[in-house]
Structure formats: structure tokens, C-alpha cells
Amino acid sequence: MTSRITVLATGGTIAGIAGSAIAKDYVAGQITIEDYLEEVGGLGLGAEFSGRQIANIDSADIGPEVWNALHPAVIEALADDDCDGVIVTHGTDTLEETAFLLDLTLPASKPVVLVGAMRPADAVGYDGLRNFANAVRVASDADAAGRGVLVVMGDRVFGARDVRKVRTRGTDAFRGFPRESVALVTPSSLEWFGAPWRPDAVAQFDWCDALPEVVILYAHAAMDAVAVERMIGQDARGVVVAGVGEGNMPEVVRQELVRQRASGLHVVRASRADEGLVDREAEDDANGFTAARALNPQKARILLQLLIANGITEPAAIQRVFDGS
Ligand code: ASP
């Protein structure tokens, strides 16, 4: 049966052009969704597409402006009886942030799949068509519903909360942590590794157009309190520490954050390590800090922003969400 897929395009390397099959440099976000769908229309993917250009930019520039256009567009597609699934094309650099933000704020009633590419469209070995064909396979599968937002890269499917970009070269650039991939996919096959984990389908948090400011502090040896104070500034409602090791930081930094916590700043301890898992410590109770668990700093930031925006500001309540997310 032919599936009906809505494609929302935001740009990235999947729509990038180098002007040569072997050039290193290229410009992301060059191909329009109309041209892209004309090309994939000839591949015989067993789907009918309707497309919409939300943006056409490098994902380094993705932020509230694009998110505020993308989120209602996905909601509209999910509500459309003529849509079986949604694909969002996106640059790979910040794909994990958009995926996680959507995952936290969308119902899991139909498949929503983010996909990108590591090589521009005119490069030899362009991975964008294969990734897109795989994304169509996932978005067409009714069993993809109830799993939240999914990311398809390199013949693998990842859950939005697990996925992270771990390499800057090559097509095998994404990994899941602490859960690895949740399915293997090719344009003609799809193998799930378990049952859907969000059968209730409802959105976890309300969408918010204006997310509060939360900064990420990248901890390092010899970091001092003055630099921390400067980086946090006046307007931040929260800070995520990309801590050394298991969310640790120099003592002077900890003391500065305890001081700022007393005037309401929310503090989350994450890790700068690739596979950082930060558990709660006894000291966190006294400090009023939260442990990010397996979320990396950029995802912990998104979650803290949403929690504050949704009025969840009590430390124990914040920790409960981080524990379950
Ligand atoms: N800089 C590009 C982007 O994130 C990289 C990519 O898409 O792979 O838009």
C-alpha cells in the first residue's frame, strides 16, 4: 500500500551542494524541497509525498525561530487523516537537539522521523538518498508510532533521547547512548529491537514559543569562578554544567553555583564525557542541584528549558523528570 508522507525540510547537508563531486567545502541548505521530492519521486519508494520548506539553513543556525515554525507544522501533519507519517530533513550538527525537543512536545501517535546526510547531494557517495529512503521506510511503518521522535542515519534508527552525533567525518556519524539503535533499516526492510515504549501517545510537555535562557558551562581544569559568573550573566534561569567525569567541577565553580542557586538559578550536572552517565550524589540535596543521568549537556539544556517553561521548578520534581527521561 502506498503511504502518504509529509516532508518538512529545514536544510542541512542533505540539501547541500558542493559544486563538484570531490570538493571538501560545500554550502548546506541549497536544494529546495520541491526539487528534492522530484528526485526522490523517481526512486519508487512506495510513498506519496507532500513537502513544505520550513527553512533552508545550516543546522548551526537552528533555534527558536525555526522550531516555532516546525512544531505547528508537525502537529498539523499529525492531525491530517491523509498523512501516515512525517519526515523532517535537518542538518546533522544540531539534529539531536531538534529531535529531542520535538520528542518531548509531540504526541507519539504517528511516526515522526528526522533524517540528514553527512555528504552533500552532488558528492560522490551522497548518503542523503539512502538515508531518506530508509526514513520513508520507517515513517511508513505503523509500528513506528508509540516510539516518540526517531532519527534515521546510516541504516540505523535511534530514539530521540539516545541519539548523538559522535563523528564529524564519514557516514557512520551517529550513535545511541545509553540505548544503542532501536531498529535496523534499509529501503526494503525494517527490524525493530523491541516494543513501542510510548503507547499512551500523548505529548509529555506543552509547547512554549519563548524558552527561558539556560547556559551550558563547559568545565575544564583551572576553571575559575569569575569566568563562571561572566558566562552565566544576568538573564539565565538555569545552567547545565558539562562537567568533568561524572558531572564534577572545580570546588570554586561548585561554590559559585551554590551561591547562584540560592538566588534561584537551576543547576544541572551533566558530563563532558562521550558516554557520560551522571548519577545523583548526596551533595546534590544540600546544593539543590540536579543530575542529568544519561542526557548529554545539549539535551539536558533543552529539557531544563522546557521544565522551567512548564512551571516545573522544584528540584525534586526536576530530578524526577531527568530520572525518567
Ligand atoms: N553543517 C551541516 C548542518 O548541520 C552538517 C550536516 O548537515 O551534516 O547543517
Domain-by-domain residue ranges, the chain? 3-192, 214-323
Sign of the alpha-carbon dihedral angle for 63, 64, 65, 68: positive
Rounding to the nearest 10 degrees, give the CA dihedral for residues 287, 290, 294, 299: -120
- Given this model, what pLDDT does residue 325 score? 54
**Residue 25 Cα, ligand 1 centroid: separation in angstroms?**
12
| Spatial distance between the Cα atoms of 138 and 131, rounded to a whole number of angstroms | 11
* Model confidence, pTM: 0.97
Is there a contact between 265 and 236 (Cβ–Cβ < 8 Å)? Answer: yes
- Given this model, what pLDDT does residue 324 score? 86
Q: Which run of H or E residues covers position 18?
A: none
**Which residue's C-alpha comes closest to atom 1 of ligand 1?**
58
Q: Which of 25, 58, 118, 153 to mutate to test the pocket of ligand 1 (most atoms within 8 A of CB)?
A: 58
- Exposed, middle or buried: residue 212 (CB in 10 Å: 0-12, 13-18, 19+)? middle
E strand residue ranges, the chain: 3-11, 47-57, 85-89, 112-115, 149-153, 156-159, 163-165, 174-176, 183-186, 189-192, 214-218, 238-243, 266-271, 290-291
| Spatial distance between the Cα atoms of 45 and 249, rounded to a whole number of angstroms | 50
Is residue 94 annotated as part of the catalytic site, yes or no?
no
CATH 3.40.366.10 at 214-323, yes or no = no
| Spatial distance between the Cα atoms of 103 and 113, rounded to a whole number of angstroms | 10
Residue 13 beta carbon below 6 angstroms from any ligand 1 atom: yes
Catalytic residue among 6, 10, 13, 105: 13
Per DSSP, the three-state class of 119 is coil
CATH 3.30.200.20 at 3-192, yes or no = no
- Given this model, what pLDDT does residue 106 score? 98
**Which residue's C-alpha comes closest to atom 7 of ligand 1?**
91
In order along its 325 residues, the chain shows pLDDT tens digits of 899 999 999 999 999 999 999 999 999 999 999 999 999 999 999 999 999 999 999 999 999 999 999 999 999 999 999 999 999 999 999 999 999 999 999 999 999 999 999 999 999 999 999 999 999 999 999 999 999 999 999 999 999 999 999 999 999 999 999 999 999 999 999 999 999 999 888 999 999 999 999 999 999 999 999 999 999 999 999 999 999 999 999 999 999 999 999 999 999 999 999 999 999 999 999 999 999 999 999 999 999 999 999 999 999 999 999 998 5
Residue 93 beta carbon below 6 angstroms from any ligand 1 atom: yes
* Closest of 246, 288, 249 to residue 270, by C-alpha: 246
Does this chain's domain 3-192 share its CATH topology with 214-323?
A: yes
